[in-house]
Every structure is written in C-alpha cells, then in structure tokens.
C-alpha cells in the first residue's frame, strides 16, 4: 500500500493526448458498490454546481519514509530519536518530476489550472462545474443525503482517469469519500454547580473519594502519578486541534484553574494558531464543550507545558476532509511543529475511501517522522464506530486504524474498567503492524470464535492505550458540568506524553515522537496500567472484552507516569 510506481510516458504521446483529449482512453480508478450506511441518492447534481476538487499525486518513496519513521521511533534502533527535518521528509514525499509533468499536461488539456496545497507539492486543488468533472473523470456526480441528519453532499460512486495517469495520480477527491455525518463530540453527562469548589491538589497521597463520581485533575494526578511540578522547556509544546467551530474560552480556563488547579497561576494562557479562516471568539456563548474540554485537560494536566489551540476554519483546502489534512500540512510546513498533537474528532472508516485513508495516514507518518506524537480519540460507539446506532458488522473508526498514530480509548472508575462506549476493533483498510503483531495474536487466541466473522482478524488493532473518559468535570460558559467520551481520554494521555517530553528535552534528549513502537515494547507495556474488565457493546453484540494484555477496548492500558519516566530512561 505504501509502495509507489511510475510509468514513463513518451513525450510525443503526452503531446498527442494534450492535443486531442477526446480520444483519451479512461480506466476505472476508484469505486464503491453503494453509498455508506445511512446515505441515500436524491438525484443528479446540478450541471453548473462548482466542485472544489483535489488531486493527490503518487509520492516518490513512502516505503523509504516508513523505514525511516520506524528507525527513529523504535527504542532499540541506532537512529532512535534522530527525527527527520522538514526537507528530509519532503524528499521522500514529493512526486516524481514526470508525475508532475504528466498531471499538469492533463489539466492543461482540460483548460484547468491547479494550485499546490501541500508542502511537498503532492496535493493539487482546482474548481470545475459538475458537468466538467463528469467529463474529465467519466463520473456521475449526484446529490446524496444522510437520512438521520439531513446533510446533503455531491459525490460519485465511481470515477475513471486517463490511462497515462496511472502510477502518477493517486486519487481525486471528493469523489467516493462521504462526509462524516456525526460530529465526534463529548456527551454531556450531567450539570453541576455553577461555581466549582476550589481544591488543594498538590498533596494527594491517595485517590480522592470524590473521584468515584467526578474526575478532575486531582483524580488524574492520583490515579496516574502525574506530577504537579511545572515543565521547564519552552521548546517542547503541545498542540490541540480545534474543528467544526469549537472555540476554547480563556475565561473558562481561568475559572477551571482557580477551581481545580489552585497551585497553577490562574492567568495561565494558551496560544492560538489559525488556518482555513479559523478563529477563536471569546464570548461566553461561543465557548465550545469539546474545545474547552481539550484545553482544560491539557493546560490543567500538563503543568507548565506551552499549549497551543489550533483552530481550523471552514475554508477547507482539502475538500470535504473538513481540515483533517489541512492541519497536518499546516504543521508539516513549520520548522518546529509541536511535539504532541491531540485530536478529539474522527469518523467511521467506511465513509472514507481506502486511497484517501492511506493518503491521510501517510500524512501522519510524515509528521511522526518529524518528531510529533499524534494522538486521536478512538470514538464513542463501542464496536459500532463513531457514535453509530446501527450496524451488522463491527465498524472501525478512522484515523484509529492508521498504524502511524496513537489511538486512545476510555476507562471509567477508580478501579479502572473499560468505558462501554470506548470504540475499538480492527481496521478493514490497514493490516496489523509488526509492533503489535504479538499482542494482537495473543488477544485473538484468547477471543476464540466469539464474534467470528464480524471483524477483520488481520487488521490493525485499536485503541493503543486509554485513559479516564467518563464523568470528567469541565467549565463551559461559566457553568460546571461533567462530560464523557474518548475525547476526554486523548488530551489526558497527550498531557502525560507532553510532560515526559519536557523531562526528556531538559535532559538533552529527543522528544518521544511516534509513540507506538515504544508503547508496545516490553518496557512500554510494563509502564502502563493494564485494564482487564469491561466491554464495548454495539451492533447487537457485547463487543470485545477487556482482558490481560492488549485488547481492542482499552488497548495496553492507562498511563503510569513514574513508570513511564523510568521506561524512557529517566
């Protein structure tokens, strides 16, 4: 899936194609048998409706980049920690000159001008009406509606490309990939008092009894041994992704810190970066539950770590990927991207095409090779996917199936058990990576024939790890409340990683970067709290069951900061 290949096309033939596009032969490139579950076709798309299309060119050497990623991310490697520079990554990623030439010849023949939208030049963007898109790609762009939400989008179930573009053009988007109909947001559990009670969190000898019903930073410090001492390294930063007009409120953070982290300066602030027209208005009415959760449980847990809220607007350059690719390209374009990136959004794997999922996954590989730890919430629908209500086979989520990021599931309770909404399972697109092959094999042996035929036994298993995800107390618009979801868990685990990075950088060492080879090593596994009870029901089944070792409910377990500090050599 990662290998690239090229066809060398004679210049004379290219010129002939450009001069006579009508005679071009087309070959089917991508198709899906039907729209994803819940979508229905309404009718043909208006011929004059403008489509913003994106082309992904075949990369030069993704297999080589994968080798380099594992070399700098595997603890026993001689190159461990020697992360790649921006230029080094782009050398692997940039398309071959002949690919650029042939694709541009094709576009010129169609009187289309495209612009590059990625640092390595492997993504191009242009706009054409539906009638032109249908002609260029032998497509049938139609209007599809999601029955439950009413959202409409223009898609085709198949498209073709000229034969001379094979091996040079990876995909056209958006074509057979459908929008995510459900925003992955935390579920509001219950309201609390308008003003949270202040606590002294600096001297917890044991887990507070209140943690049985409400999770706060004090609970996490006690459960996971997270230190309260301030980070010291300004160069080791933590990024928090913001999408779908979710805004992080500074006043709410101040109130949260006064109530929950009185040992920290209450005027502690987070930085802001924006792209795609993003913003972060500060009216109380604009405060977002997800954004506030993510900021309060990074700033309020990763004590003193410089934290940046990255707000992605609605002017997407990546088509209807809703900024998922844009934010990675934005960070790849930086000389010093954040050492940790946490994202609490996702979608069902079957809504995205295999080729596009591979492209996004490869983007995470690029950022991981640069030294960024990428964490995503696994989803909140158990084995039913991302808050899915109906299914006949288990539904993996994306990007949790991608092997180059760290998927975070959820636990609940002081004696931790799996949260029943914690999405987990096995990808239908990506195979089991070598770093987890032994633990996945052990799980499948213990699983036996239970739920046989409902999931892909050769797929990449997720989540990788987990953290508390239920009854988590936050402040939104000045009001306290509790929320639940793996979107609580990802920023919590990311904060632990950020604090580890701070200690590593202070000791003159590299940040952890891509986490999974370390987490699945003997030292990494021993530094996590194994969660061995609970399950994640869905699709009219009990789902998977947490058990000793890795499982597709809680992964390898929850963090133990002192043990992890020792495992990374400090």
Catalytic residue among 66, 105, 233, 294: 294
Angle between helices 62-73 and 354-369 (to 10 degrees): 40
Residue 227: is it exposed, middle or buried by C-beta count within 10 angstroms (0-12/13-18/19+)?
Answer: middle
Q: What pLDDT, on a 0 to 100 scale, did the predictor assign at position 388?
A: 54
Q: Quick check: 193 pLDDT over 90?
A: no
| Mean predicted confidence (pLDDT) in 15-24 | 40
Q: Quick check: 20 pLDDT over 50?
A: no
Q: What pLDDT, on a 0 to 100 scale, did the predictor assign at position 391?
A: 86
User: How many other β-carbons are positioned within 10 Å of the β-carbon of residue 335?
Assistant: 7
Backbone φ and ψ for 182, nearest 5 degrees, come out as: -115, 120
- Annotation says 294 is catalytic: yes
pTM for this entry: 0.90
CA distances from 510 to 220, 338, 370, 380, 444 (A): 26, 13, 11, 33, 35
| Mean predicted confidence (pLDDT) in 502-523 | 98
Q: Which residues face 129 on adjacent strands? A: 50
| Mean predicted confidence (pLDDT) in 250-270 | 95
Q: Quick check: 202 pLDDT over 90?
A: no
| Mean predicted confidence (pLDDT) in 453-464 | 97
CA distances from 545 to 81, 395, 438 (A): 35, 16, 18
- Annotation says 252 is catalytic: no
Residue 152, token pair as written in the block: 């409409």
Q: Quick check: 17 pLDDT over 50?
A: no
| Mean predicted confidence (pLDDT) in 225-234 | 97
Q: Specify the pairing of strand 142-146 against strand 39-44.
A: antiparallel
Q: Quick check: 392 pLDDT over 80?
A: yes
Q: What are 114-152's pLDDT values in tens digits?
A: 999 889 999 999 999 999 999 999 999 999 998 888 888
Q: What pLDDT, on a 0 to 100 scale, did the predictor assign at position 24?
A: 66
Q: Quick check: 316 pLDDT over 90?
A: no
| Mean predicted confidence (pLDDT) in 326-351 | 93
Q: What pLDDT, on a 0 to 100 scale, did the predictor assign at position 147?
A: 85
Positive or negative, the Cα torsion across 221, 309, 198, 190? negative
Percent of the chain surpassing pLDDT 70: 90
Contact 290, 185 (CB under 8 A): yes
Q: Quick check: 5 pLDDT over 80?
A: no
Contact 295, 309 (CB under 8 A): yes
- Annotation says 314 is catalytic: no
Lowest average pLDDT, out of 306-310, 379-383, 399-403, 460-464, goes to 379-383
Q: Quick check: 23 pLDDT over 70?
A: no
Q: What pLDDT, on a 0 to 100 scale, did the predictor assign at position 2?
A: 32
Q: What are 282-313's pLDDT values in tens digits?
A: 999 999 999 999 999 999 999 999 999 999 99
Q: What pLDDT, on a 0 to 100 scale, did the predictor assign at position 197?
A: 39
pLDDT tier at 323, thresholds 50, 70, 90: confident
More confident residue, 191 or 402: 402
Catalytic residue among 30, 290, 535, 551: 290
Task: Please give the mean pLDDT across all residues of the chain.
Answer: 89
More confident residue, 179 or 447: 447
Give the helix/strand (H/E) hosting 123: strand 123-129
User: How many other β-carbons are positioned within 10 Å of the β-carbon of residue 294?
Assistant: 30
**Rounded to an integer, what distance in angstroms lies between the CA atom of residue 376 and that of residue 296?**
17
CA distances from 514 to 173, 243, 299, 353, 463 (A): 28, 23, 22, 25, 15
Catalytic residue among 153, 400, 487, 489: 487
Vertex 281: Cα angle to 280 and 287 (nearest 5): 90
Q: What pLDDT, on a 0 to 100 scale, did the predictor assign at position 7?
A: 26
- Residues 6 or more apart from 132 whose CB is under 8 A from it? 110, 112
Angle between helices 11-19 and 97-109 (to 10 degrees): 20
Q: Is the peptide bond before 439 cis (omega within 30 degrees of 0)?
A: no
Q: What are 62-102's pLDDT values in tens digits?
A: 999 999 999 999 999 999 999 999 999 999 999 999 999 99
């Amino acid at each position: 899936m990662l290998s690239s290949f090229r066809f060398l096309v004679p210049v004379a033939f290219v010129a002939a194609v450009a001069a006579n596009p009508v005679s071009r032969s087309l070959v089917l490139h991508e198709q899906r048998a039907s729209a994803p579950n819940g979508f229905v076709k309404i009718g043909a798309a208006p011929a004059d409706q403008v489509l913003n299309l994106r082309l992904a060119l075949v990369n030069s050497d993704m297999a080589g980049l994968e080798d380099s990623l594992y070399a700098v991310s595997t603890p026993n490697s001689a190159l461990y920690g020697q992360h790649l520079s921006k230029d080094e990554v782009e050398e692997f990623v940039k398309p071959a000159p002949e690919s650029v030439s042939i694709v541009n010849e094709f576009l010129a023949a169609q009187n289309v001008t495209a612009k590059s939208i990625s640092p390595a030049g492997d993504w191009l963007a242009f706009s054409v009406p539906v009638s032109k898109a249908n002609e260029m790609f032998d497509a049938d762009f139609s209007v599809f509606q999601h029955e439950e939400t009413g959202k409409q989008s223009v898609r085709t179930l198949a498209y073709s490309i000229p034969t001379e573009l094979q091996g040079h053009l990876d995909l056209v988007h958006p074509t057979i990939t459908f929008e995510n109909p459900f925003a992955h947001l935390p579920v509001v559990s219950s309201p609390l008092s308008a003003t949270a009670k202040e606590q002294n969190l600096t001297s917890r000898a044991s887990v507070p009894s209140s943690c049985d019903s409400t999770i706060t930073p004090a609970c996490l410090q006690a459960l996971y041994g997270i230190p309260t001492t301030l980070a010291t390294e300004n160069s080791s930063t933590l990024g928090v992704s913001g999408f779908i007009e979710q805004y992080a409120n500074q006043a709410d953070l101040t109130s949260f810190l006064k109530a929950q982290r009185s040992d920290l300066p209450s005027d502690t602030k987070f930085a802001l970066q924006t792209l795609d027209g993003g913003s972060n208005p500060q009216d109380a009415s604009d405060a977002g539950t997800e954004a506030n959760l993510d900021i309060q449980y990074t700033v309020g847990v990763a004590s003193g770590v410089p934290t940046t809220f990255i707000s992605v607007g609605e002017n997407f350059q990546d088509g209807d990927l809703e900024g998922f690719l844009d934010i990675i390209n934005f960070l790849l374009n930086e000389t010093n991207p954040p050492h940790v990136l946490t994202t609490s959004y996702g979608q069902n794997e079957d809504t995205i095409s295999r080729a596009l999922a591979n492209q996004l996954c490869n983007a995470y590989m690029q950022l991981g090779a640069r030294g960024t730890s990428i964490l995503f919430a696994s989803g909140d629908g158990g084995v039913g996917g991302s808050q899915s209500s109906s299914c006949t086979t288990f539904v993996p989520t994306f990007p949790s199936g991608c092997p180059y990021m760290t998927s975070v599931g959820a636990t609940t309770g002081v004696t931790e058990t799996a949260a029943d909404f914690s999405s987990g399972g096995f990808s239908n697109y990506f195979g089991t990576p070598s770093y987890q092959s032994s633990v996945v094999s052990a799980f499948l042996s213990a699983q036996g024939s239970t739920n046989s035929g409902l999931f892909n036994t050769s797929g990449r298993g997720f989540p990788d790890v987990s953290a508390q995800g239920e009854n988590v107390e936050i402040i939104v618009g000045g009001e306290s409340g509790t929320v639940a979801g793996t979107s609580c868990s990802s920023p919590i685990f990311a904060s632990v990683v950020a604090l580890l990075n701070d200690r590593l950088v202070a000791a003159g060492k590299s940040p952890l970067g891509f986490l999974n080879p370390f987490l699945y090593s003997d030292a990494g596994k021993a530094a996590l709290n194994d969660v061995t009870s609970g399950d994640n029901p869905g699709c009219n089944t009990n789902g998977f069951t947490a058990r000793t070792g890795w499982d597709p409910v809680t992964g390898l377990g929850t963090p133990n900061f002192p043990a992890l500090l020792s495992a990374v050599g400090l």
